[in-house]
């Protein structure tokens, strides 16, 4: 039998080549992958709520029989609504799903069904809106009823019941072969149960306490290994020779003089952190966290000017052309002349023609350009700098580790500042970003208006747009955002374009309506955005190109269509486009969430406008595997159930990792750990563990 990390899931009974392809959609290729596919939540089906005792506003598990079913469409946007009546010995309750007409083929009168959701009262009628459901007409294996039941992430073609059956078989045959990676003395010191027992209990727990102890063990394992890799990378980075920047005593005062406003205390502290780092002889690697509109960009400008003042060059990389252009215009407005003289600045984007790009490349290589602000175009092979000593990456979660490293490689170990407006809680940040120093801007500039957020269903959309028209006629401007998550998704794009045409003729007739989306030419986007900024457009219909880089102080109304399709960080970023003046702003979420996670996301956005609290909610809702995904870190996804509730375990794991690396930096005395890190984090630790 091959090792579990190479044994294909195909040969597990009940899988085969066809289902192997389905499992691949969940990131599962091997038996080990399957065993580490942890439940996203549990249902205690030993305790079912009788229908007569269902409480509005609470999440509950209900078991009943389908007594009736039917479908209809909403009046305004013609969304499909599917409804079943569920009955038990105590009473009846309606279950409603939006835009899932296929459910009519699955749920039939007589089916025995378990649903999980939150009940609400609508038109004096108790309903469970978009609950998760599972048909359990029989349960031969005893894995789906009368016990604590795991609920897994799924993909089309794989059901909860089937996955539980396959998981139980894999545990029976292979759990005892799981590798113990954490050293025995560490396991004893922290009273950690064996890994095989813990994996069994995390999937099919005997009780809540057994499940919590299993979580603790697996959480410790994952973070111990991750921290060893992070600490090794940090040690390697600090051995590099960087550029020590000299800044005269009056430099900070000259920087403040460039702006017509006072910097916040948090901005000044972050600038001091950067100045301290840049004065050292080894490279800076700092993470700057700050909420939407907190002034991170101004802080990054300090690093640019510090590099230029020392005869070097700087670069700022942005995820979109809109954001790059905004940073470029902001920088030149403050520094084309002033206390630092004329700082020579260039904008580099994919929109440049071949001759223009070649000419700019030549200027950058000759040193005729001090600061380059651009998009992914900064990563192109033909671009070379004369002497690049400072790099800032804006919205760092949009870029992978490889991309940031590629930009850094264009200089000789330049100082690196990565910025994010999707922050994470500070304790977790120090644990997860152990290879970075961290600065936080937790305050916004003074004079910003309040943002109020509301949620309405799709059936209430007509009334929402009547209200938007009233607000706009009083002088404000509005955004209407559509969830084109991938600009190549024609169906999504069609919806945005069709509603734009409809708004002009119907709900927003008489108002000046514009349209922007990611498949428009860059020049056309720029023209429309400039018209919106000049208030030549009242309402801008847009897609997620709006997420970052837009600053129109008079735009204080936003409607987000199908809000349940956006991630929590995305919703917060979008909302951050309004409320950028002293006036109050209104954000309306239109949507009918169909999953527990979707409902929790909308609830979180309604509850607070604090980005740090939003980040905490996001981590707790999604867990680390999605929150810290491959696209953000270049790491294999972390697989613990929920580290946000086990900070003590994370801190203990980090301290053990620090002690181990200090005593054995090469890991030659811990080959199991060394080999496991090589397999789990190959990109993250490239060249760190040579030999």
Residue 141 has a pLDDT of 63
Q: How far apart (Å, rounded) are the C-alpha atoms in residues 568 and 287?
A: 21
Final residue in a domain of this structure, among 94, 117, 151: 151
Q: How many CB atoms lie within 10 A of CB 532?
A: 23
What lies within 8 Å, CB to CB, of 690 at 6+ separation is none
436 and 478 both lie in a single domain:
no
Residue 33 located in a structural domain: no
Contact status, residue 143 vs residue 164, Cβ threshold 8 Å? yes
- Among 26, 327, 316, CA closest to 167: 26
537 and 460, same structural domain? Answer: yes
Which pLDDT band holds residue 53 (cuts at 50, 70, 90)? very high
Within a domain: residue 196? Answer: no
Position 588 scores a pLDDT of 96
With bands split at pLDDT 50, 70 and 90, how would you rate the model's confidence at 585? very high
How many angstroms from the chain centroid is the CA of residue 186? 33
Q: 167: left (phi > 0), else alpha (psi -120 to 50), else beta?
A: alpha
Cβ-Cβ contacts under 8 Å for 337 (sequence gap 6 or more): none
Q: How many CB atoms lie within 10 A of CB 442?
A: 16
CATH code, 60: 2.40.50.140
Identify whether 689 is part of a domain.
Answer: no
**Same-domain pairing of 433 and 494:** no
429 and 542 co-located in one domain: no
Least Cα distance to 308 among 253, 366, 367 occurs for 367
Q: Answer whether residue 88 is part of any domain.
A: yes
- The structural domain count of the chain equals 3
Together in a domain, 51 and 107 = yes
Indicate whether 131 and 50 sit together in one domain. yes
List the structure tokens of 613.
């609290």
Q: Is 268 exposed, middle or buried (0-12, 13-18, 19+ CB in 10 A)?
A: middle
Residue 43: is it exposed, middle or buried by C-beta count within 10 angstroms (0-12/13-18/19+)? buried
For the question of whether the overall pTM of this predicted structure is more than 0.75, the answer is no
pLDDT at position 397, please? 58
CATH of the domain at 280: 3.40.50.300
Q: Of 582, 609, 636, which closes a domain?
A: 609
Domain hosting residue 332, numbered range: 266-441
CB 292 within 8 A of CB 576: yes
408 and 487 in a common domain: no
What pLDDT, on a 0 to 100 scale, did the predictor assign at position 631? 32
- Paired with 439 in beta bridges are 288
* pLDDT, mean of residues 565-579: 85
609, 631, 647 - which closes a domain: 609
For residues 147 and 274, state if they share a domain: no
Are residues 273 and 401 part of one domain?
Answer: yes
Q: What is the pLDDT of residues 168-181, one digit of tens each?
A: 999 999 999 998 99
User: Residue 245: inside a domain, yes or no?
Assistant: no
474 and 570 housed in the same domain: yes
Q: What is the pLDDT of residue 293?
A: 75
Please give the full DSSP string across 548-571, using - where no structure is assigned: SS---TTEEEEEETTGGGS-HHHH
Burial (CB < 10 A; 0-12, 13-18, 19+), residue 465, is buried
Q: Percentage of the chain surpassing pLDDT 70?
A: 87
Which pLDDT does position 641 carry in this prediction?
43
When mean pLDDT is compared across 532-536, 605-609, 614-618, the lowest value belongs to 614-618
What is the pLDDT at residue 158?
87
Strand-by-strand arrangement of the 437-441 sheet: 345-348, 371-374, 313-317, 388-393, 415-420, 285-290, 437-441
Rounded to an integer, what distance in angstroms lies between the CA atom of residue 328 and that of residue 347? 6
Say yes or no: 469 and 435 in one domain. no
459/560 same-domain check? yes
Which of the 8 DSSP states describes residue 518?
A: T
pLDDT in tens, 475-515: 999 999 988 754 445 656 777 888 889 999 888 999 999 99
- Please give the pLDDT value at position 491: 59
Q: Considering the domain boundaries, does residue 487 fall inside one?
A: yes
Give the pLDDT mean for 314-330: 88
Q: Classify residue 21: in a domain, yes or no.
A: no
């Amino acid at each position: 039998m091959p090792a579990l990390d190479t044994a294909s899931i195909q040969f597990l009974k009940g899988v085969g080549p066809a289902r192997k392809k389905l499992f691949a959609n969940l990131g599962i290729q091997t038996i080990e992958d399957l065993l580490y596919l942890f439940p996203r939540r549990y249902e205690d089906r030993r305790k079912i709520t009788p229908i007569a005792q269902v409480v509005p506003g609470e999440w509950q598990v209900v078991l009943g029989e389908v007594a009736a079913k039917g479908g209809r469409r909403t009046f305004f946007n013609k969304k499909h609504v599917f409804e079943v009546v569920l009955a038990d010995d105590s009473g009846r309750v309606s279950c409603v799903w939006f835009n899932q007409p296929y459910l009519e083929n699955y749920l039939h009168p007589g089916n025995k069904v378990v649903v999980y959701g939150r009940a609400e009262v609508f038109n004096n009628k108790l309903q469970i809106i978009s609950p998760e459901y599972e048909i359990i007409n029989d349960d031969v294996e005893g894995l789906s009823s009368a016990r604590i039941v795991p609920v897994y992430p799924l993909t089309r073609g794989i059901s909860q019941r089937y996955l539980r059956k396959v998981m139980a078989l894999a545990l029976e045959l292979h759990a005892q072969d799981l590798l113990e990676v954490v050293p025995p003395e560490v396991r004893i010191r922290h009273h950690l149960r064996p890994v095989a027992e813990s994996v069994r209990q995390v999937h099919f727990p005997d009780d809540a306490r057994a499940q919590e102890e299993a979580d603790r063990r697996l959480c410790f394992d994952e973070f111990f290994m991750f921290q060893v890799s992070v600490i090794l990378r940090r040690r390697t980075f600090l051995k590099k020779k960087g550029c020590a920047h000299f800044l005269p005593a009056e430099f900070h005062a000259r920087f403040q003089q460039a702006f017509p406003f006072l910097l916040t205390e948090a901005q000044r502290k972050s600038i001091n952190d950067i100045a301290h780092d840049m004065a050292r002889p080894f490279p800076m690697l700092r993470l700057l966290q700050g909420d939407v509109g907190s002034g991170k960009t101004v802080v990054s400008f300090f690093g640019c000017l510090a590099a230029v003042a020392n005869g070097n060059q700087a670069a700022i990389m942005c995820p979109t052309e809109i954001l790059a252009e905004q940073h470029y215009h902001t920088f030149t407005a403050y520094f084309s002349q002033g206390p630092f003289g004329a700082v020579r600045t260039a904008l580099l984007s994919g929109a440049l023609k071949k001759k223009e790009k070649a000419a700019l490349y030549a200027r950058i290589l000759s040193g005729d350009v001090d600061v380059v602000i651009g998009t992914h175009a900064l990563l192109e092979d033909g671009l070379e700098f004369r002497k690049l000593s400072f790099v800032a990456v804006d919205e760092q979660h949009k870029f992978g580790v490889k991309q940031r490293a590629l930009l850094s490689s264009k200089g000789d170990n330049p100082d690196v500042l990565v910025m994010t407006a999707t922050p994470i809680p500070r304790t977790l940040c120090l644990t997860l970003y152990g290879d970075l120093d961290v600065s936080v801007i937790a305050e916004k500039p003074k004079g910003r208006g309040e943002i109020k957020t509301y949620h309405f269903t799709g059936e209430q959309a007509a009334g929402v747009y009547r209200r938007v028209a009233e607000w706009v006629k009083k002088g404000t401007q509005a955004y209407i955002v559509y969830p084109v998550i991938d600009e190549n998704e024609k169906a999504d794009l069609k919806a945005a374009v069709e509603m734009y045409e409809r708004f002009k003729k119907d709900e927003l007739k008489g108002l000046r309506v514009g349209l922007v989306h990611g498949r428009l030419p860059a020049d056309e986007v720029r023209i429309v955005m400039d018209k919106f900024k000049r208030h030549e457009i009242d309402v801008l219909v847009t897609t997620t190109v709006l997420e970052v880089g837009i600053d129109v102080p008079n735009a204080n109304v936003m409607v987000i269509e199908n809000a349940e399709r956006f991630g929590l960080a995305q919703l917060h970023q979008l909302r951050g486009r309004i409320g950028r003046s002293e006036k109050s702003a209104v954000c309306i979420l239109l949507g009918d969430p169909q999953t527990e996670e979707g409902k929790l996301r909308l609830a979180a956005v309604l509850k607070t406008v604090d980005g740090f609290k939003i980040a905490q909610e996001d981590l707790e809702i999604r867990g680390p595997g999605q929150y810290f995904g491959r696209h953000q870190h270049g790491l294999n996804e972390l697989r613990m159930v929920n580290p946000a509730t086990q900070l003590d375990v994370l801190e203990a794991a980090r301290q053990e990792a620090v002690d181990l690396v200090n005593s054995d930096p090469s890991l030659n005395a811990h080959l199991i750990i060394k080999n496991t890190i090589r397999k789990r984090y190959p990109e993250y630790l490239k060249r760190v563990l040579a030999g």
